[in-house]
Amino acid sequence: MKTRQIHLVSRPEGFAAPENFEMREVELPPLDEGQALVENLYMSIDPYMRRSMEPVATDLPPWPLDAALNGPSIGRVIESKNAKYSVGDLVESMSGWQEHFISDADDFVAYLSPENAIAKRLLANGATPKDFLGILGVAAQTSYFGMMCAAKPVAGETLVVSSGAGVVGSIACQIGKIKGMRVVSSAGSDEKVAWLINELGVDYAFNYKKTDISEGLKAGCPNGIDLVLECASPEHLSACLPLMNEQKLLLIAGFIGIYSTGGVVKNIRNFEYVLDRFLTIKSYPFMTYLSAYDRFVSDMLRWREEGRLHFKEAMYEGLETAPAALCNLFTGATHGKALVKLAK
């Protein structure tokens, strides 16, 4: 059968552009024994993918030129010669950026396997296929495991979240409120600031494009800062340091602000406060806390059902929209978790 894939045809300098990508039609061979043919239903678009476009990547292998790209996707088995998988099974893999693919199933995410009851239980409890990339996806896990495992929210203390209208940031803001914290956040537009305050219940938010970050933080944190979940930039992290209370924690979930500039951190300021106030700065891989996955799923679905957790999605239709969806992450045009719907 024939299918369509997105290939990377050139590596960007600075911001990614749609012309760095090309749609190509390829023919898939017949299945061999042990293989399954999957039709992708949804694919995830994530900030880390900009780093995968570089010729050298520090966390994941760089995307190759002129070949199918990879990324989180949810698909349905439509033909199988693998005894473990039947037609209709739901699978998660790192085989996004294409409408169909053939796999020996070694790359399927284990907790969606038919051998594991988690997937069937989740679907029975109201989860949908796209939830595995959205409210239960990698970005949501990064936020939850950061807030609930790498840190310990304390009621009454002050949490600062940068890029609070993003997926990681918005979930962190809401977990902070659920746990009784004072939550302060920044965002890149007045619309996003209003959403943080009016819909998510953030105590104070400011537009970092209009308000100096240091001044915005001072206004929002009269009693200092006890916990930071950093998603945005070295500049934002630096601005937090003079306001930190003693022996407190700064978690780095990511620095989206440097992903289009080579990924090099050159400008951390105010580092003396780390020493003077005995602060901890910590980055963390979400995979470290996968032992808490069941608790993560239970909390996220329960909080959503109770109306305490709001999850915003930006849905794109069709594989051809995927390059623009990725580019939009770095211009502020996307508000919510970026997903591409590939099939019904």
Alpha carbons 176 and 225: distance in angstroms, whole number = 13
Computed over every residue of the chain, the mean pLDDT equals: 91
Q: Is the pLDDT of residue 212 over 50?
A: yes
Residue 67: both structure tokens together: 């070949």
pTM of the model: 0.90
Predicted confidence at residue 121, as pLDDT, reads: 55
Q: Give me the residues paired with residue 65 across strands.
A: 8
Whether 1 contacts 25, CB under 8 Å: no
Residues ≥6 apart with Cβ < 8 Å to 282: 150, 249, 250, 251, 252
Predicted confidence at residue 90, as pLDDT, reads: 84
Predicted confidence at residue 113, as pLDDT, reads: 47
In percent, the amount of the chain with pLDDT more than 70 equals 94
Domains for the chain: give ranges and CATH numbers: 2-134+312-341 (3.90.180.10), 138-287 (3.40.50.720)
| 260-300 residue pLDDT tens | 676 677 778 999 999 999 999 999 988 889 888 889 988 99
Averaging pLDDT over each range in 182-186, 255-259, 262-266, which range is the top one? 182-186
| 301-310 residue pLDDT tens | 999 999 999 9
Helices then strands, counting H and E runs in the chain, come out as: 10, 14
Predicted confidence at residue 114, as pLDDT, reads: 46
CA atoms within 13 A on the CB side of 303: 22
Q: Is the pLDDT of residue 144 over 90?
A: yes
| 109-133 residue pLDDT tens | 755 544 444 555 566 567 888 998 9
Query: Poorest-confidence range of 46-50, 55-59, 209-213?
Result: 55-59
Predicted confidence at residue 117, as pLDDT, reads: 44
Q: Is the pLDDT of residue 139 over 80?
A: yes
**How, if at all, do strands 225-230 and 73-80 pair?**
unpaired
Predicted confidence at residue 294, as pLDDT, reads: 82
Q: What is the mean pLDDT of residues 59-82?
A: 92
